[in-house]
Amino acid sequence: MIDTLIGRLPAGRVITDPDVLDSYARDRTFLEPGKPLGAVLATSREDVVTTLKWATENRVPVVPRGGGTGLAGAATAMDGSIVLSLAKMTAIRELSPADEIAVVEPGVITADLDKAARRHGLMYAPDPSSYEISTIGGNLATNAGGLRCVKYGVTRDSALGLEVVLADGRVLNTGRRTMKGVTGYDLTGLFVGSEGTLGVITAATVRLRQAPKAPPATFAAEFGSLRDAGAAVSAIMAAGCQPSLMELLDRATLQAIDAMRNIGLEDATMAMLIGQSDASDSAAVVARMQELCEENGAAFVAVSSSPAETEELIGVRRMAYQAKERLGACLVEDVCVPRSLLPDMIEAIERAAAKHGVKICTVAHAGDGNLHPVFVFDHGIPEPPPEIWAAADEVFTQALALGGTLTGEHGVGLLKKRWLGLETGELGTEIHHGIKAVFDPLGILNPGKAI
């Protein structure tokens, strides 16, 4: 069957070699994919249109894909599907410093857009941890967050308009290239975070922002209790300090980092808070944040305003994931709670770990209340054992009980589907499927994901 698709596309667009194909069928989760028919490496909107028309005619499921860095299984391919990679659509079609916007194709690496913007004194704000390897298209599909979003918002807040190919191959333009606009329903917002289930994004008009003019200043504070660290976070936000990042590391994470590279972890340190200001008076703001940490019980606060020292402090945060991977295979989760409940959520995670005898290391985008509990299990086994799922179930249930959400920035994909109904409810689920049917009546776009 795939031969008819190969015939319609320019030469070299379709991969069918099973070994190569397998790498296009997975994301960064442990999930074992099915066997897709092939992977289309689209280089143009026309390739996407051709692929989707063919898929509609033949009722073949299509799994859109960016950099494959997802953590929820949204890009996991199923048997008999076509993988549609947008990674080769890498043009920055336009970058307007005057209007602070760019028009980009979905395969642009997020960091590359940021670099291009910086040449004009601008930045592309969203910076998921994967931003040097993930694509704008993938970021849009999952409404990616990141470290800077505590100040600058998530991907949705930078998306102004989209060019989308619908399941039947028709091209829809949504949104605008202006800062404001209320014509019609917010279709741009509807596509952002929809994980490829409503259409395939082939271009996006995104908002750029003025890059900070001065180098950032940074602090790292050690706390003897999670409650104290949480109180410091609240105090910093309430003081209007507007940190450009604010990350909390729990003791399990710090131990993992200490084991990998000696950071001189004290026995009494239960949490570390790392914050940054990119304001024009960043040193003064960080001095204020330092004071607030000390007032809230910090045992030690290191402060830096030189780029090298800053790299060292932030480097501790950057090591977190790598350090955990040395401990075992990782299931990375992503709950988000109202900010004031951050300590409660971390304690609930610790209870779940103790109860089920599993290792959980937690890092949080503390200013947003967004936690990444990483469930560690043996490298040798193909997927998380039952006690991990039992602990995860408790973590999700507790996040919802605290007025939180299952996923702050990674998405639902396949991994969180079993808990989805708890958050969206029966009517919400019905509405989601109704909307899905408007865009994709045959249900060929990334079936089984997200909703």
As measured in angstroms, the least distance from the Cβ of 425 to a copy of itself is 7
213 counts as binding a copy of itself under rule CB under 8 A: yes
As measured in angstroms, the least distance from the Cβ of 93 to a copy of itself is 13
As measured in angstroms, the least distance from the Cβ of 186 to a copy of itself is 4
240 counts as binding a copy of itself under rule CB under 8 A: yes
Among 34, 307, 315, 428, binds a copy of itself (CB under 8 A): 428
Count residues near a copy of itself (CB under 8 A).
Answer: 88
Among 234, 255, 305, 397, binds a copy of itself (CB under 8 A): 234
> Cα 162–166–172 angle (5° rounding)?
40
73 counts as binding a copy of itself under rule CB under 8 A: no
397 counts as binding a copy of itself under rule CB under 8 A: no
Within 261-385, residue ranges assigned H as helices are: 282-295, 307-325, 342-356
Burial degree of 98 (CB within 10 A; 0-12, 13-18, 19+): exposed
Among 193, 243, 373, 384, binds a copy of itself (CB under 8 A): 193
As measured in angstroms, the least distance from the Cβ of 372 to a copy of itself is 12
Pattern 283-302, a copy of itself, x by CB under 8 A:
--------------------
As measured in angstroms, the least distance from the Cβ of 402 to a copy of itself is 9
As measured in angstroms, the least distance from the Cβ of 66 to a copy of itself is 15
As measured in angstroms, the least distance from the Cβ of 259 to a copy of itself is 30
- CA gyration radius for the chain? 22
DSSP H or E stretch at residue 360: strand 359-365
194 counts as binding a copy of itself under rule CB under 8 A: yes
Rounded Cα distance, 447 and 441, in Å:
11
Question: Which residues 405-424 are close enough to bind a copy of itself by CB under 8 A?
Answer: 405-412, 416, 420, 423-424
Question: Which residues 350-379 are close enough to bind a copy of itself by CB under 8 A?
Answer: 365, 367-370
- Give whole-number Cα distances, 292 to 46, 225, 434, in Å: 55, 15, 49
Per CB under 8 A, which region of 7-15, 20-28, 148-156, 320-328 contacts a copy of itself?
A: 148-156
Other Cβ atoms closer than 10 A to 386 = 8
Q: Do 241 and 174 meet the contact criterion of CB atoms below 8 Å apart?
A: no
Question: Which residues 151-190 are close enough to bind a copy of itself by CB under 8 A?
Answer: 153-154, 156-157, 166, 170-174, 176-187, 189-190
- Give whole-number Cα distances, 61 to 48, 51, 53, 89, in Å: 14, 11, 12, 21
Rounded Cα distance, 35 and 22, in Å:
8
Rounded Cα distance, 37 and 48, in Å:
16
Q: Do 230 and 341 meet the contact criterion of CB atoms below 8 Å apart?
A: no
Per CB under 8 A, which region of 292-300, 322-330, 353-361, 436-444 contacts a copy of itself?
A: 436-444
Pick from 240, 250, 350, 255: which is nearest to 288 by CA? Answer: 240
280 counts as binding a copy of itself under rule CB under 8 A: yes
Per CB under 8 A, which region of 1-9, 145-153, 251-259, 304-312 contacts a copy of itself?
A: 145-153
Q: Do 244 and 266 meet the contact criterion of CB atoms below 8 Å apart?
A: no
Residue with smaller CB distance to a copy of itself, 20 or 179: 179
347 counts as binding a copy of itself under rule CB under 8 A: no
- Give whole-number Cα distances, 182 to 154, 179, 188, 256, 422, in Å: 20, 11, 11, 48, 32
